[in-house]
Structure 1
Amino acid sequence: MRKYDYILVGSGLYAGVFAWYAGRSGKTCLVVEKREHLGGNVYCEDIKGIKVHKYGAHIFHTSNKKVWDFVNSLAEFNRYTNSPVANYKGEMYNLPFNMNTFSKLWGISTPAEARAVIDSQRAEVTGEPRNLEEQAISLVGRELYEKLIKGYTEKQWGRDCKELPAFIIKRIPVRYLYDNNYFNDPYQGIPVDGYNVMIEKLFGGCEVELGVDYLEHKAHYDSMGGTVVYTGTIDAYFGYRFGKLEYRSLRFESDIYEEENHQGVAVVNYTDRETPYTRTIEHKHFAFGNQPVTVVTREYPVTWQEGMEPYYPVNDEKNQALYQKYAGLARKEANVIFGGRLGEYKYYDMDKVIEAAMEMAQEALGR
């Protein structure tokens, strides 16, 4: 029955990079994808000539030159630099927290003045922070926390910051520079023609079955391949034997505006608690578009339920303990590689998932 060397479950970046290396080693792959398209969450759809990031903003950034060279071998990248702004009840602030932010907040102009304000506010928390609120205040002070962290974080996680563990925020980027570039990584950009071009090259040469749930036909697909590369949810693979892991999901609402420029920037974070969405994305700015219309998407965090797309693992002690039980089962599973955001129950930036897939492919393929 075996027809393929690898059965790739899911078609995001992890599976795609593995497929690319497998193809160059002369291996055959079958891709089994639940959705009706390849690419996972980096998939783009064309609306009015605008490449719309269907599952939220995906801005590529990395410090790893090998990863940067790899993605550039697949697609031409533009020079897009992520410089989002925060909207707090109509007040606009630059992100990440930098001298532009501090000048607007406090009417100051020098790094020394900004440090003095932040240090005085940080002193409010003494001893070990007991929750996310105390951790954030201990890092950046009360005012930045109240205006630019609290509301956004509570919407993102669906809980009060006092109920969230401190370790969720280990550090908060603060720059005493007039620099609005969100990422510190030296390499940054977005594929000129969208991510679909990259995805098509990664899976070139693979056979593909779309709109199919691997777990519903597991025995059939397992019999067709030597090794399974599984990038779905790890708890579902094991039939939720120990219970379900928790995720946060997202809901998107998009509008087309008959105007060239709606919000003046690709990403606006809404940091007050009252606005129900966390951010708005004007997709044309990712590609410096000049179309006469524009598409803007609102992003609403929601509690994940069966049937929804799981986006973010709930990074608390209870879920991490549950994941470790499943990871123990995964280690014993013969001829199955668990990878990616869902297979490893881990939040991955795109460059890190590519790096992990490269390492796994080199280990599995001996190259």
Structure 2
Amino acid sequence: MYDYLVVGTGLFGSIFAYEASKKGLKCLVLERRSHIGGNCYTESVENINVHKYGAHIFRTSDENIWKYMQQFCKFNHFVNSPIANFKGEIYNLPFNMNTFSKLWNIFSPKEAREIILQQGKEIQGEPKNLEEHTIKLVGRDVYEKFIKGYTEKQWGRDCKDLPASIIRRIPVRYIYDNNYFNDPYQGIPIGGYTAIFEKMLEKCEVLLEVDFLEQRQEFQNKAKKIIFTGTIDSYFNYKYGALEYRSLRFEHKILDTNNYQGVAVVNYTDRETPYTRTIEHKHFEFGTQEKTVISEEYPLEWNKNIEPYYPINDDKNQELYEKYLELAKKENNVFFGGRLGEYRYYDMQDSVKSALEFSKKELGIL
């Protein structure tokens, strides 16, 4: 008999399993995929650590989270400075004075503010949708070149049909600074993410390619408690219907060049390019390999047969999630956590924080 059955080897499940095993508790960890690490998984291709499920850049403003992660790896000094490609025109991201200078041939923050303010006046009254909300915040030029096409590809819907709440705020900097994040702690684990999970799970028994939901009868009584990090609605057999997500498909390519795009991430912001971005993985670790590996990222409508990525946290889905949450509260010794278990859009530091808070409550750790 195990103390805990942990379903899923992403950040939430792996951190909890690590903390439990530190206390001498026995954990059996199940993973549906053929590898550990969830969407953070990296694998070596042409001696390059490839982020198989999209770019994962660790960043946080919480010093404690930064220190916690450093026990598993050393971070390099990578800073995320992506660029936008709009029909061949190249601009810096996030929206800052480098972007505005090229867009409008201006120099001063005062000029940029005036243009954005003037263009925002196009929208009178309360914005009715994402398009109006965005134009009011950043003006039509920024909306048309950088937000409209990218967002419509990402969500599979016209911006006029999307709620304003999807983009609650848009970071606009009136300084010449291409650092995408404001967090003081930022970097990529030297040697990739997979080694982190290997360290977290080294004292646990891990079974790969095991779908807990398909083999529930076999595993649910093997432990005193269950930590479930899959989709909460699937655990309850979609009793009230399926929660909605957006999904992704990745095309990975090995190219016979040592430098394809000169930057880790390029966002393709026009509507015509079918993918939202390309990732050149070697730039995360300042690689000098002879070849390179790129990944094209294609947004997809989600169905139950493919991987869920982004929860669609609109009112309809939140109401549905609340119903499942009530069922979860009635479960004896089953706990739901992580991005899918909590139906939240989590960055990595959010998952770490949630896992540590739960571990503290469940295990009494300091």
Indicate the TM-score class for this superposition, using the shorter chain for normalisation: over 0.9
- Aligned CA-pair RMSD: 0.7
Q: CA offset at residue 210 of structure 1?
A: 0.6
Q: CA offset at residue 324 of structure 1?
A: 1.0
Counterpart-to-counterpart distance in 2, 1:319 and 1:163: 16
Q: State the TM-score, normalized to the length of structure 1.
A: 0.98
Q: CA offset at residue 366 of structure 1?
A: 1.0
What's the counterpart of residue 260 of structure 1? 258
Describe the SS at the equivalent of 1:250.
strand
Task: Tell me which amino acid in the other structure corresponds to 1:29.
Answer: C
Task: Tell me which amino acid in the other structure corresponds to 1:269.
Answer: N
Q: Deviations over 1:205-239 (max 9, x none)?
A: 00011101101121321211011110001110000
Counterpart-to-counterpart distance in 2, 1:190 and 1:293: 20
Counterpart-to-counterpart distance in 2, 1:332 and 1:145: 46
What's the counterpart of residue 90 of structure 1? 88
Pick aligned residue for 1:306 from 296, 304, 307: 304
Counterpart-to-counterpart distance in 1, 2:69 and 2:134: 35
Task: Tell me which amino acid in the other structure corresponds to 1:159.
Answer: R
Pick aligned residue for 2:281 from 270, 283, 288: 283
What's the counterpart of residue 68 of structure 1? 66
Counterpart-to-counterpart distance in 2, 1:283 and 1:270: 17
Describe the SS at the equivalent of 1:248.
strand
Counterpart-to-counterpart distance in 1, 2:118 and 2:225: 57
Task: Tell me which amino acid in the other structure corresponds to 2:302.
Answer: W
What's the counterpart of residue 186 of structure 2? 188
Counterpart-to-counterpart distance in 2, 1:204 and 1:307: 31
Q: CA offset at residue 331 of structure 1?
A: 1.4
> Quick check: 1:328 aligned with 2:326?
yes
Pick aligned residue for 1:235 from 233, 236, 241: 233
Counterpart-to-counterpart distance in 1, 2:300 and 2:20: 37
Q: CA offset at residue 316 of structure 1?
A: 1.5
What's the counterpart of residue 317 of structure 1? 315
Q: CA offset at residue 307 of structure 1?
A: 1.7
Q: Deviations over 1:8-35 (max 9, x none)?
A: 0010000011111111111110011100
Task: Tell me which amino acid in the other structure corresponds to 1:338.
Answer: F
Task: Tell me which amino acid in the other structure corresponds to 1:216.
Answer: E
Describe the SS at the equivalent of 1:212.
coil
Describe the SS at the equivalent of 2:303.
coil
Q: Deviations over 1:294-328 (max 9, x none)?
A: 00110000001122111111122111111111111
Pick aligned residue for 2:34 from 33, 36, 39: 36
Q: Deviations over 1:68-109 (max 9, x none)?
A: 001111101100000000000000111100000000000110
What's the counterpart of residue 176 of structure 1? 174
What's the counterpart of residue 130 of structure 1? 128
Which stretches in structure 2 are left out of the alignment for 5+ residues? none
Q: CA offset at residue 42 of structure 1?
A: 0.5
Deviates more, 1:123-132 or 1:282-291: 123-132
Which stretches in structure 1 are left out of the alignment for 5+ residues? none
Task: Tell me which amino acid in the other structure corresponds to 1:13.
Answer: L
Q: CA offset at residue 189 of structure 1?
A: 0.2
Counterpart-to-counterpart distance in 2, 1:315 and 1:75: 33
What's the counterpart of residue 250 of structure 1? 248
Percent identity, aligned pairs only, is 61
> Quick check: 1:222 aligned with 2:230?
no
Q: Deviations over 1:308-361 (max 9, x none)?
A: 111111122111111111111111111011001110111100001000000000
Describe the SS at the equivalent of 2:70.
helix
Q: CA offset at residue 128 of structure 1?
A: 1.3
Describe the SS at the equivalent of 1:223.
coil
Q: CA offset at residue 5 of structure 1?
A: 0.6
Structure 1 runs of 4+ with >6 Å offset: none
Counterpart-to-counterpart distance in 1, 2:18 and 2:176: 41
Q: Deviations over 1:253-305 (max 9, x none)?
A: 11111111000100000000000000000000000000010001100000011
What's the counterpart of residue 77 of structure 1? 75
Describe the SS at the equivalent of 2:215.
helix
Q: State the TM-score, normalized to the length of structure 2.
A: 0.99
Task: Tell me which amino acid in the other structure corresponds to 1:28.
Answer: K
Describe the SS at the equivalent of 1:32.
strand
Deviates more, 1:281-290 or 1:298-307: 298-307
